[in-house]
Amino acid sequence: MNVIKTDIEDVFIIEPRVFEDERGYFFESYNQKEFDEKVRPVRFVQDNESKSSYGVLRGLHFQKGNHSQSKLVRVVKGRVLDVAVDIRKGSPTFGKHVAVELTGENHRMFFIPRGFAHGFSVLSEEAVFQYKCDNLYCPSSEGAIAWDDASLGIDWKIPSEDVVLSEKDRRHPKLKDSDYLFDYNENLYL
């Protein structure tokens, strides 16, 4: 796998080696040993999948405290813009984001470490999105930041009038008004 550093430390884009021929393609989508060596040692404990149509925007979500999660995300079908926002107080990149286009064709994956809010917008007619988490989901530890917080400067690559949100995602606070942020100096992997 090819691991690409981004402008934010510990956030990575991962490109697998894809072998194609007249039959189709094959690639190794995950290898624990190689991931531990090239990205960071994590133990994924939950896999999730969602299917969404054009304009659906999910985010910006995170899990609080002891339930914080790293995610390894990818698109199996379609095209999304995937975004990670640094919400670690004291971080030199606090409030900054990395955005990457993930498609069923480019097979790219995106690693979002603990201490980040995560979201994606669907750019194709339909998208199937898969992600691994290194901590189990805990409903009482849900946290989120408003997807349209102007201070974040995220271009979701879809017109705002086409954005489709859940009722919950309509009500998240702006980053400056959030009642929960991570501490940059805290080791979130203990």
Q: Which amino acid belongs to residue 18?
A: V
Count CB neighbours of 184 within 10 A: 16
- Kindly state the tokens that stand for 55: 């304009």
Of 61, 97, 107, 118, which residue is the catalytic one? 61
User: Degrees (nearest 5) of the Cα angle 117, 16, 38?
Assistant: 65
Q: Which amino acid belongs to residue 174?
A: K
107 labelled catalytic = no
61 labelled catalytic = yes
CB 118 within 8 A of CB 69: no
Of 30, 131, 184, 189, which residue is the catalytic one? 131
Residue spans of alpha helices (H) in the chain? 32-38
Catalytic residue set: 61, 131
